[in-house]
Structure 1
Amino acid sequence: MIDSLRRGWNRILAFFHKAPLDGDLDAEMASHLEFAIEENMQRGMAAEEARRRALIRFGGMMQAKEQHRETRGLPWVDVLMQDMRYTFRTLRKDRGFTIVAVLILALGIGANVAVFSVVNTILLRPLPFPQSQQLVWIAPPPQKCGLSCATYSVDAYEEFKAQSRSYQDITGYMAFTSPDNLRLTGRGQPEPATGIEVIGNFFRVLGVQPAMGRLFTAEEARQGAHPVTLLANPYWRRQFAADPNIVGKEIDLNGHPATVVGVLPASFDFGAVFSPGSKVDMIVPLILDDERTWGNIVTLIGRLKPGVSVSQAAADAQMVVPHLCWSAKQPNTCGSYVNKTGVSIEVQTLKDYVGGRLRRSLVVLWCAVGTILLIVCVNLSNLLLARAASRSKEFAMRAALGAGRGRLVRQLLTEALILSGAGALLGLGFASGVIFWLSHQQAIALPLLSSVRIDGVALGWTVVIAATTAILFGLVPGLRMASGNLHETLKDSGAGAGAGRKHERIRTALVIGEVALACVLLVGAGLLLHSFLKVVDIDLGFQPEHSASMKVEYDDSAPTDAAQAEKRGVILGQIAERVSALPGVEAAGFADYLPLGRNRAWGTPTPKGKVYPEGVLHGPLVYVIGPGYMRAMGMRLHGRDFTWSDGPNSQRVIMINASAARVYWPGEDAVGKILQANGGDCVVVGVVDDVHADSVEGDPGWQIYYPITQQGPNAAQLVIRSAVPPAALAGTVLHTLRELNPNQPAAEFRPIAQVVDRAVSPRKFFVVLVASFAGLGLLLASLGIYGVISYSVTQQTKEIGIRMALGATTGRVQLGVIRKTLALAAMGIFLGGLVSLGLARMIESLLYGTAPTDPITFAAMTVLLALVAFVAGYVPARRASRIDPLVALRNN
């Protein structure tokens, strides 16, 4: 053992101290040679003959040196260094090939690294919380009543926490927070801010510690406590210039002083985890007693006890729910999403809740970018084969001088590894730019997007795909080159001509495979794009173009609900009248929530005098709106709109959507009917066309609209319709609002089209990326076709010259080249089409209104590939038709 270690150590020392050892070896060999010469001369030989005989007996000097070096050093490292030096010299001479190869590799590897970083962040990497595998999301099964069916009441939260046995602790947050719900004053003009109310133990359950200050105390989450807040790290840096002394200071929120008790760490992003696409500026404690009667408003997040599985926690929850729903302080507090005969509740890891819905889409995206890498490998294999054909004499000469086939293959693999390494380094730069851009895209509603980064795992993945790529595109040319008849190559008069002819069939097969892969990508992208166009073409029930919204602050405080409603009607009526009179404004109205955003349900309205079996009716989504809102949103209405005279002391009125009307009064006109809703009789004054309120692609469901003058809204969004760009109106509208309310914070109009874009942004994100990869694959496939056809034309120059000398026309020559091009494309399209038929089934769940075997998509992609192949073959065809027969025959 000691001898082996000593020999190994001596080899390492010998590798790093070659010059002194080589000098000693030269001196020793010279000494031995002198002794041999002297001995021969003593035998009577002449000096010249004595030297010749000594050298013959001694053997080759260089061979002896190499053998000695191998025994004393690290031969495999020496060989590798030789191969690398030779590779760098070769690549430096062929700069054009090197640049093209590195750029192609950079695109393929960079795209893979960027997509892997997204997949790793959303699906693979644990959430940024300590022992995040213990965190679970506790929710009812999906229902059609918005967030009200995805949340719990305060009483339900307390009962669940008291009775469950599988959790260390349970927490949650207020789910119905709207953007810009806070107003920061005392620092110039009032500034809007978005705050989230969380249960006092929220951060302790998640395991988040503040970067500065402390977390909330139990006393600060009780009724009557002095207001406190935790600042989000970006907001602290942006609004307070990263003031290191901010902890303990008071800021003015909504006209009341609140103490800053801490600053959250930069790694914590509430919106990225719980509300993708949302920007959260600060966190405040949820006062449970203040909101105990608000119904279902609280989410449930639990941390499991050590050793408890998700399935055990789900079983525990199933046992708790029956008591929770019918024995709590408020009976039937679970609402319409559970019944006594079929208790149901879902418990899943928080990681699955955050990213699980995107799993299939991300896997498809990952496969698409992997296909791009395969196309890159095929393209580079073709380039290396063409290059190897021109170097066939070089490799034949090396083999004749003693280089084995393994050494030749190793040389080509070394070149591939160096090219792949350079492509990976450039690709990392490309991926870093893409990831930086993605992480700052708040318009894309993808979870954890702001925390996407190239971490150690992504760097490891880069090394793996770089090495794998090098093997994939370097092995085939290496084996093919080493397996050729080297003696025939040496005798061949044309440099590399024989090898080039032998490589042509392999290159043709590779191009067919490349076209097939591109076809698969194009069909997948075509199906997703067709599906996306179907989504965009959905009748939303409103017209987002030329509409925009702005958050409005107003004071409707009054001693009674009726007085509050009356005051609110006066204030909002004045605002609507003033804004409607502004130049360019066609209509103005108010709503507490907008479609495709947060929503809720209030109970289950019932037509007066009708009885329905249990389970037939469910709670519709509720919107509180003002007169003019329907016109401002471009909604279609049968009946009449609300008016400002529909006051708190007038007949209660409502509007419902067409789907609800068809269920409540099938075959009848719902206008004028009485609906028992929200504790009283309400006259239906209008029926609104169905609006996609919950999601663009889902069922519109049922909606009910209450007038803002009779029902207290959660907020007030001013919606206007105007042909003038919203940015041009924002200053004028804000000035008008501040004339009526000086505390109106600065705000900008948000186009309603942005709301729609945000709702479809995940689908759009995947479609754009897959379509981009398909376009890149199509480009690479066209380059591959062009390369093979162009090379074939070059090899057939003499043949084409003879044909033209015998009378072949220019058109006939072109037609022959193009026919060969289209034949290659046809074989690739046929193979790719067969594979696409099977793979399309895998993405069926991602399609909307589009069959996986959609003939239009398959036909369009086939025509597109054929056209690209035609263009790729037309250029070599024109070159072939311009060959001068005399020149071709003279040069060949």
Structure 2
Amino acid sequence: MMRAWWKKARRLPGSPWPVAADDEVDGEIAGHIELHTRHLIKQGTPPADARAQAIARFGDPERVRAELRDIRHAMETDMQRTEWFNDLRADVAFAARTFRRNPLFTLLLVLTIAVAVGSNATIFRVIDAVLLRPLPYRNAERTSVLWNGYQGGNAAVSVPEYFDMVERLAPSFADVAAVTPQPTALVVPGEDAERVSSYSVTPNLFRTLGVDAAIGRGLQPGDGAPGGERVAVISHALWRRRFGGEATVLGRSVNIGGLATTIVGVMPAGVNFPDAPIGFLRERADLWIANSFEHLRGDERGSQFLGVLGTRRSDASETRAQGDMTALERQFQSAFPDRYSPPNVPAWRLAAVPLREQMVGSVVPALAMLGGAVLLILLIACANVAGLLVARGAARRRELAVRLALGARRSRLVRQLLTESTVLGLSGGALGLGLAWVASRVAAGNAGGIPRLDDAGFGPMVVVFSIVASVVTGMLVGIAPAVQQSREELRGALGEGGRGSSDGTGRRLRRVLVGGQVAMAVVVLVAAGLLGKSLLALRDVDTGVRADGAYFLRVDPARARYDSAFKTLALYERLKDEMTQLPAGQSAAVYPLPMSGEGWGGSYAIPEPQVGSAELHAEYAVSTPDYFKVAGIAMLEGRDFTADDKRGNPPVIVIDEVLAQKHWPGASAVGKRLNPNRDPGQWATIVGVVRHVRNAGPRSDGEPQIYIPHAQHVQRPMALVVRTSMPETAVLAALRDALRRADPELPATRLGTMVSLVDEATARDRFYAVLLMIFAGTALLLASLGLYGVMASLVEQRKREIAIRVAVGGPPGTIRWLVMREGLAITLVGLVAGGLAAAATARVLTSLLFGITPGDPTTWGAIAMIVIAVTALASWAPLRRAVRVDPIDALRE
């Protein structure tokens, strides 16, 4: 049975061991045995014994056959590999010669592919850095951010709530750490002060995340205890920038926020927790200061300023962790019903958000949209190049027919054509990678705060992606032309003398490709149009602040030097006095600065809460007299703070219109009483109502707002707001000089224009919209080039028909319509198909839009008009050529 199968297998075409080769080996084996037998007979061995001994000494013939078969197979494999590489080298050389003969045509193809691959490499670089690259923490996948969840969103945690979490979530959470921002000044002896982004953290933060110090040690239990030594760990970037990367930094004492602090460790490069904005934790850290927060254990639960991280135990499931969170919710509601239970806080809950989702979850829809857009550009480019290659193939029909006539296999021709397209793809990809590098450098400062983008670079993943995209592009653009051209009839191609006429297959293929380009361009155009109109709607939103002509200077005086309310108030009075010397200068101070990402929230109480009302939670701010006037916040009722609103006098507050309407609709809120932070005996009188300010930016309404006079609630970090008619550069220089005169050792933590705060609030939306508009313009340009090519080819192919119509007196309008209807038919089919696809995908944009819906009729109508207009432009030159056809010359050809 086996022998019969082997004989059949040896007779198959391409067998590594054919029948002839096997017979030759058998003859060789028989010859060796025969020679040895004769040799033994000459030595006197009987013939019968001599053959048996010869066979025994030779060995098993089947084993020898197998060894020879393996040797032959290896030789043939090497020969085939060598032949394949030689053919590939010859194909590449032939492709290079072919492209050199048509430099402009080749340049157009390479540039088209370069734009497509470059766009994809640019976006892949962002996706790789933001979504694909793992977080630099061992416990990242088990770590969540724990929030107080309210109806309006997630809020920070108070110190008492944090300690309850530590104790009561221990069965499912191995570690629960706390962190709060503390931007301040770093003073190294003998050097100038530098503003740094610092965070006050519990000693177990790095253990919670799962990261060890690169030099020295991390924070340990006992660090940050009240009365103990103040210690800090610094980032790798700060270590290199400020301390020259010297190991002697360990144990060094520096001044941080006016207090002596010992540096005990340096974190690894790339660890700057928070690496991306996490709620109100917005800046990448330069250093972390140990703080146990034990001295605030008995603080008010409404004072919420901590960000909390929890790492699940390795044996604790998400279900178990959520169960413990739910149990803690019930304990809070049972122990503190006024704060956590309905009706005052009907929507309160403890929320746990995975760390990765918290850091990058907000940008996933936008990056998916941008990734889809550049993929469509790549497909449009592929269709464009494929259409050009199909058109060029008509001129090569005679060449390919001659090669077939000389005995070339059709598969060999297909391989040649695919090699040519792959060379195009790789050439375009190399140029596209360069374009992506340039584009990334240009966009680096305009990325709109996309998280983790600062760590993006052109690493191996981006290069590998570009190479793969280039090869795939080359194969995609070449496969349709290769198959179409290899199917040409030999006799017909030779008989036509190389002319470009054909049976219509090429024309139909080009129409399909161009129609597909128009459809894909419509999808990108609709997305870009919707985002563009959404951006315009965002810019028209009244944020509540008149930003033009206003400037700010933020400072954070050190507690050690400004250890009393009198000193802090005196500092801001000196700064305000300096600013009043400017032309038309007005100044005031506030914390937090609107739309800066800072601030704090807390609860409040009113004398007679309405049953079933929303949770009594608000945003808080501290301001000095005249702040509302300087910031351009309209006073709707009552008055601003005055110099008489100071400690010792009755507490007063100003509220916004949202809070006033919430509790006293249709009535005046001035004169009413409210208890900030629910502190017993701290009832304050409302003296004014102002316009609501969108502190979180134009997209978010935010919570109701309560303003407290600075003199009654002294806050060290504040922002000086100035309004003046001076030029911007002069104002910023004056602010620096004023700060230097007021306190030479106090650095500015932030300095700029109020307009820049508004711009930053919409920077991400602007980045997405502008980038998508560029992609949409690219897609439309590529589609219009493809449409132009089809129209030009149509005129050329139907030149004789047009000449006959002209000769018999056909009107120019008829000839124009003959050509124009082809372009309109392709465009309308593309519009319908693209419109259906865009309608299905536009729903993905819902979370990115503001003020409009995905079905906005104005946007859709504008896109349709733009596409039709581009069709007309792309058809203009071919139409002009059509009506100018000379009948005599056309019929003579």
TM-score under structure 1 normalisation? 0.85
In 2, the alpha carbon distance for the partners of 1:271 and 1:617 equals 29
- Do 1:123 and 1:356's aligned partners in 2 also have CA atoms closer than 8 Å? no
The within-5 A match list for 1:271-670 is 271-275=274-278, 278-292=283-297, 295-323=303-331, 344-438=349-443, 440-441=444-445, 444-493=448-497, 495-499=498-502, 501-554=504-557, 564-565=564-565, 568-606=568-606, 609-613=607-611, 615-638=613-636, 639-670=638-669
SS of the equivalent of 1:604 reads strand
Aligned CA RMSD, in angstroms, stands at 3.1
In 2, the alpha carbon distance for the partners of 1:341 and 1:826 equals 53
Cα offset, 1:684, TM superposition? 1.5
The within-5 A match list for 1:13-52 is none
The verdict on how the C-alpha distance between 1:343 and 1:685 changes in structure 2, with shifts beyond 3 A counting, is: closer
Deviations 1:699-720 (A, max 9, x none): 2431111111111225211111
| Residue of 135, 148, 161 corresponding to 2:143 | 135
- Do 1:489 and 1:498's aligned partners in 2 also have CA atoms closer than 8 Å? no
Cα offset, 1:424, TM superposition? 2.2
SS of the equivalent of 1:649 reads coil
The within-5 A match list for 1:90-109 is 90-109=98-117
SS of the equivalent of 1:346 reads strand
The verdict on how the C-alpha distance between 1:187 and 1:585 changes in structure 2, with shifts beyond 3 A counting, is: farther
In 2, the alpha carbon distance for the partners of 1:535 and 1:430 equals 31
Deviations 1:580-625 (A, max 9, x none): 231253444333443352222232231xx52422553411110001
In 2, the alpha carbon distance for the partners of 1:700 and 1:737 equals 32
Deviations 1:824-883 (A, max 9, x none): 222221221222222222322322221221110011001111111111111222233344
- Do 1:392 and 1:499's aligned partners in 2 also have CA atoms closer than 8 Å? no
Cα offset, 1:248, TM superposition? 2.3
SS of the equivalent of 1:598 reads coil
The within-5 A match list for 1:722-801 is 722-746=724-748, 749-801=751-803
Aligned to 1:881: 883
The verdict on how the C-alpha distance between 1:673 and 1:154 changes in structure 2, with shifts beyond 3 A counting, is: closer
Q: Report the more deviating stretch, 527-536 or 356-365.
A: 356-365
Aligned to 1:214: 217
Cα offset, 1:341, TM superposition? 9.0
Cα offset, 1:669, TM superposition? 1.6
| Partner amino acid, structure 1, of 2:470 | A
The verdict on how the C-alpha distance between 1:119 and 1:542 changes in structure 2, with shifts beyond 3 A counting, is: same
Deviations 1:524-577 (A, max 9, x none): 1111211221122111111222222111355788999xxx54554444234223
Matched, 1:122 2:99: no
| Partner amino acid, structure 1, of 2:684 | C
The verdict on how the C-alpha distance between 1:76 and 1:488 changes in structure 2, with shifts beyond 3 A counting, is: same
| Partner amino acid, structure 1, of 2:133 | R
The verdict on how the C-alpha distance between 1:73 and 1:654 changes in structure 2, with shifts beyond 3 A counting, is: closer
SS of the equivalent of 1:601 reads strand
Aligned to 1:27: none
The verdict on how the C-alpha distance between 1:656 and 1:73 changes in structure 2, with shifts beyond 3 A counting, is: closer
Aligned to 2:204: 201
| Partner amino acid, structure 1, of 2:319 | S
In 2, the alpha carbon distance for the partners of 1:559 and 1:745 equals 14
Aligned to 2:70: none
Deviations 1:370-396 (A, max 9, x none): 111110111011111111111111111
Cα offset, 1:791, TM superposition? 2.0
Aligned to 2:874: 872
- Do 1:338 and 1:344's aligned partners in 2 also have CA atoms closer than 8 Å? no
The verdict on how the C-alpha distance between 1:795 and 1:402 changes in structure 2, with shifts beyond 3 A counting, is: same
In 2, the alpha carbon distance for the partners of 1:544 and 1:783 equals 45
| Partner amino acid, structure 1, of 2:585 | V
- Do 2:172 and 2:312's aligned partners in 1 also have CA atoms closer than 8 Å? yes
- Do 2:538 and 2:699's aligned partners in 1 also have CA atoms closer than 8 Å? yes
| Partner amino acid, structure 2, of 1:461 | F
SS of the equivalent of 2:493 reads helix
The verdict on how the C-alpha distance between 1:600 and 1:835 changes in structure 2, with shifts beyond 3 A counting, is: same
- Do 1:195 and 1:284's aligned partners in 2 also have CA atoms closer than 8 Å? yes
- Do 1:549 and 1:717's aligned partners in 2 also have CA atoms closer than 8 Å? yes
Aligned length: 813
- Do 1:550 and 1:749's aligned partners in 2 also have CA atoms closer than 8 Å? yes
In 2, the alpha carbon distance for the partners of 1:430 and 1:816 equals 41
The verdict on how the C-alpha distance between 1:488 and 1:579 changes in structure 2, with shifts beyond 3 A counting, is: same
In 1, the alpha carbon distance for the partners of 2:253 and 2:93 equals 67
SS of the equivalent of 2:349 reads coil
Cα offset, 1:815, TM superposition? 5.2
Deviations 1:333-359 (A, max 9, x none): 975799999873333421122122222
Any stretches of 5+ residues in structure 1 without a counterpart? 1-6, 9-66
The within-5 A match list for 1:166-181 is 167=172, 169-177=174-182, 180-181=183-184
- Do 1:379 and 1:784's aligned partners in 2 also have CA atoms closer than 8 Å? yes
In 1, the alpha carbon distance for the partners of 2:213 and 2:76 equals 65
Cα offset, 1:634, TM superposition? 1.3
In 1, the alpha carbon distance for the partners of 2:343 and 2:285 equals 32
In 2, the alpha carbon distance for the partners of 1:582 and 1:654 equals 30
Q: Report the more deviating stretch, 445-454 or 191-200.
A: 445-454
Cα offset, 1:254, TM superposition? 2.7
Cα offset, 1:480, TM superposition? 0.9
Q: Percent sequence identity over matched residues?
A: 30
Deviations 1:242-274 (A, max 9, x none): 344322222222333222222222211324334
The verdict on how the C-alpha distance between 1:558 and 1:841 changes in structure 2, with shifts beyond 3 A counting, is: closer
TM-score under structure 2 normalisation? 0.84
Deviations 1:225-255 (A, max 9, x none): 2222222222233333434432222222233
- Do 2:302 and 2:602's aligned partners in 1 also have CA atoms closer than 8 Å? no
Cα offset, 1:807, TM superposition? 3.6
Aligned to 1:83: 91
Cα offset, 1:160, TM superposition? 2.2
| Partner amino acid, structure 1, of 2:197 | T
In 2, the alpha carbon distance for the partners of 1:754 and 1:173 equals 31
The verdict on how the C-alpha distance between 1:739 and 1:673 changes in structure 2, with shifts beyond 3 A counting, is: same
SS of the equivalent of 2:502 reads helix
In 2, the alpha carbon distance for the partners of 1:338 and 1:450 equals 45
In 2, the alpha carbon distance for the partners of 1:592 and 1:414 equals 63
- Do 2:158 and 2:304's aligned partners in 1 also have CA atoms closer than 8 Å? yes
| Partner amino acid, structure 1, of 2:180 | A
| Partner amino acid, structure 1, of 2:231 | V
SS of the equivalent of 2:126 reads helix
The verdict on how the C-alpha distance between 1:391 and 1:774 changes in structure 2, with shifts beyond 3 A counting, is: same
- Do 2:258 and 2:561's aligned partners in 1 also have CA atoms closer than 8 Å? no
The verdict on how the C-alpha distance between 1:259 and 1:337 changes in structure 2, with shifts beyond 3 A counting, is: farther
Q: Report the more deviating stretch, 242-251 or 866-875.
A: 242-251
The verdict on how the C-alpha distance between 1:402 and 1:591 changes in structure 2, with shifts beyond 3 A counting, is: same
Matched, 1:829 2:827: no
Any stretches of 5+ residues in structure 2 without a counterpart? 1-14, 17-74
| Partner amino acid, structure 2, of 1:654 | I
| Partner amino acid, structure 1, of 2:700 | G
Deviations 1:406-433 (A, max 9, x none): 2222221111222112222222233334
The verdict on how the C-alpha distance between 1:144 and 1:184 changes in structure 2, with shifts beyond 3 A counting, is: farther
In 2, the alpha carbon distance for the partners of 1:671 and 1:338 equals 25
The verdict on how the C-alpha distance between 1:512 and 1:72 changes in structure 2, with shifts beyond 3 A counting, is: closer
